[in-house]
A and B are shown apart, each in its own frame.
Chain A
Amino acid sequence: MLRPRSRYGRWWIYLVLTIALVLVIAPFAWMVLGSFKGQGELLRNPPTWWPEAPSLDNYTQLFARLDFGTYFTNSVVVAVAVTAGNLLFCSMLGYALAMLEFPGKRVLLTIVLGTLMIPGVVTFVPLFVIVANAGLIDTLPGLILPFLVTPFGVFLMRQFISGLPPDLLDAGRVDGASELGIFGRIILPLCGPALATLGILTFLGSWNNFLWPLVVAQTEKTYTLPVALALYSTGQNNTQYGLLMAGACVVVLPLLIVFLVFQRHFIEGIATTGIK
């Protein structure tokens, strides 16, 4: 690393960083504190920081009214399935695009690249009609299938795999491995960090997805967590801020855990996604 600096050189960086951290976390912290306040206090002007009479009211209300188990399970099932699908299928194609030659390769690459830049809002309704015609409305597969593969995932994997030495392929072929075997036995195990990266980002996107699950579900048994939470916090003429805050805390908790658990792989992962 750097040549050793004096102890004094460091402390001011810690100070600045800590101030920055406090500022960055402040809105988040206010949200957490707000989840223990009542609607009256939340609307007060000037706003309060610490709750005057902290209570778990918002949380108990949410858990009592929400069929929490169902919604949480739905969110988990969908997010895990979408993540697993992306990890598998995107790495498959990413490998093919990175290391194999085949007719139609350039066309496929261009199409995938192109659709990344198209605003999602324009394909929303046609996509819904397709899913409806496929009989997938109000089903978990209807929430999963349209997102099982993403161009982003393909690119990430392609970048990473391109950074691997091509000699691996030759070595594999010399050893008599099949083409698919090379992928499964040689390449994929080396993709750990990139897969972790893709995994976290995909999980994050799927977990926080609101509009699609809202529109696809016909009955409450297919709701995911963000949809159910919006049910109780947003009203026609007013918003229940306390419930909103509590709901947001509940939703973000699993994400924090996933991030913490995968953090190490995540950092290593970014380093090797062909960014060099």
Chain B
Amino acid sequence: MSAPTLAATVQLPPAASSPKLPRKRGSHPGEGRAAWILAIPFTLLFLAFTVWPVIQSLFMSFTDTKQKDLRTPFAVNFTGLQNYGRALSDPVFVKAAANTAYFVVVGVPLTLGVALLAAVALDKGITRFRAVYRLGFYTPVITSIVAVAVVWRFLLQPDSGLVNTVLSWVGIAGPNWLGDVQWSMPSLILMATWRNFGTGMIIFLAGLQAVPASLHEAAAIDGASGWQRFWHITFPLLRPTLLFVSVTTAIGYLQFFEEPFVMTQGGPLNSTISLSMYTYNQFGYGNYGLAAAMSYLIFIVIAVVTALQFRLLRENT
């Protein structure tokens, strides 16, 4: 998403599992003061450039602010939850929500699965050229979506695109990937997986490398098969990593914007329009109050989904 918050542009961030904090030993003299000195630079910049815009936009969501009111932010009517209501009763917004849900429910496990598979293959399956594969699989993450979109559109062309050409070799008549209502979303999910699995793979790789070899050797001596070893040793130790990548990817995918914006403009027939893209359009039309309300609705969904993931994937301590 081409928005200023870096957290949105980089696919990583926020809370992982809460680590075990050091036992509170009673405050030491100067501890609080030192802490605040350390916190001041961040806090000041954060308040000025993040918190204030958030408060202002939150305020806007409860008013009928339009573009021309931005210079006189208080000369607007307070409308309470009207914007929220309008958003929820807008059929396009609901469709966008359904599309986003489809994208997340299919895309997150798929991306995680591919990333994990790649990581396991690189970690356990091979010993040489790891760096080559690592870099190669990470390349989609760092390339510009606009250039890559052009390539993907060519690849997915129904008549002469590479994908359908290859499929025709095995006798399958490929569909109109991006132009068909049924296949447009799967195409975008595929593209998003391709773009993002590299990040997950790198994190899983590190997590896998943190599993002590001695555990594996001990289990192997006891006669455990490769699959058993993976399921009973590796996987539980990977759980925190899994949570980290899952939360990361879900937050990113819930806000997915660039794929439909660049590839399909939300079409065909609104089959690929996402919540973020629809909200961006509303900002473009100047309906600032409504668009702000939509943004905060998205925020609520993100918070709920994140909390759910913590529940499900919490490590057993």
Question: Which A residues fall within an 8 A CB radius of B?
Answer: 1-3, 10, 13-14, 16-17, 20-21, 24-28, 30-31, 34, 45-47, 82, 88-90, 92-93, 95-96, 98-103, 105, 108, 111-127, 129-131, 145-152, 154-156, 159, 162-163, 166, 169-170, 173, 178-180, 183, 201-202, 204-206, 208-212, 226, 230, 239, 241, 244-245, 247-248, 251-252, 255-256, 259-260, 263, 266-276
Residue on A with the closest CB to B1? Answer: A120
* 4 A-B pairs closest in CB distance: A120-B3, A179-B34, A166-B22, A248-B147
Asked whether, in the complex, the Cβ of A162 is within 8 Å of the Cβ of B21, the reply is yes
**Closest-CB distance, A45 to chain B (whole angstroms):** 5
**Known interface pairs A154-B42, A275-B207, A276-B240; A260-B135 also in contact (CB < 8 Å):** yes
- Chain A residue contacts of B87, Cβ below 8 A: none
Asked whether, in the complex, the Cβ of B15 is within 8 Å of the Cβ of A121, the reply is no
Asked whether, in the complex, the Cβ of A155 is within 8 Å of the Cβ of B15, the reply is yes
**Closest-CB distance, B41 to chain A (whole angstroms):** 5
Asked whether, in the complex, the Cβ of A204 is within 8 Å of the Cβ of B142, the reply is yes
- Chain B residue contacts of A178, Cβ below 8 A: 30, 34
Q: For A105, A204, A205, A275, which residue has the most chain B Cβ atoms within 10 angstroms?
A: A275
- For the complex, is B184 an interface residue (Cβ under 8 Å from A)? no
**Closest-CB distance, B42 to chain A (whole angstroms):** 4
Q: For B12, B161, B240, B296, which residue has the most chain A Cβ atoms within 10 angstroms?
A: B12
**Known interface pairs A2-B226, A47-B160, A117-B14; A259-B143 also in contact (CB < 8 Å):** no
Asked whether, in the complex, the Cβ of B240 is within 8 Å of the Cβ of A275, the reply is yes
- For the complex, is B210 an interface residue (Cβ under 8 Å from A)? yes
Asked whether, in the complex, the Cβ of A2 is within 8 Å of the Cβ of B220, the reply is yes
Q: Chain B: interface secondary structure? A: helix
Bound form: Cα–Cα A209–B15 in Å: 24
Q: List 7 A-B contacts (CB under 8 A).
A: A1-B124, A46-B160, A118-B54, A118-B296, A121-B291, A152-B10, A275-B203
- Chain A residue contacts of B42, Cβ below 8 A: 89-90, 92-93, 149, 154
Asked whether, in the complex, the Cβ of A211 is within 8 Å of the Cβ of B160, the reply is no
Question: Which B residues fall within an 8 A CB radius of A?
Answer: 1-10, 12-17, 19-25, 27-28, 30-39, 41-43, 45-46, 48-54, 56-57, 70, 118, 121-122, 124-127, 131-144, 146-148, 150-152, 154-155, 157, 159-162, 165, 194, 202-203, 205-207, 209-210, 213, 216-217, 220, 226, 237, 240-241, 244, 251, 255, 257, 276, 279-280, 283, 288, 291-292, 295-296, 298-299, 302-303, 306
- Chain A residue contacts of B13, Cβ below 8 A: 116, 151-152, 155-156
Bound form: Cα–Cα A252–B144 in Å: 8
**Closest-CB distance, A146 to chain B (whole angstroms):** 4
- Chain A residue contacts of B137, Cβ below 8 A: 20-21, 24
Asked whether, in the complex, the Cβ of A89 is within 8 Å of the Cβ of B45, the reply is yes
Bound form: Cα–Cα A205–B48 in Å: 21
**Closest-CB distance, B148 to chain A (whole angstroms):** 6
Asked whether, in the complex, the Cβ of B14 is within 8 Å of the Cβ of A116, the reply is yes
Partner of B39, one of A13, A93, A152, A241: A93
Partner of A126, one of B10, B35, B53, B306: B53
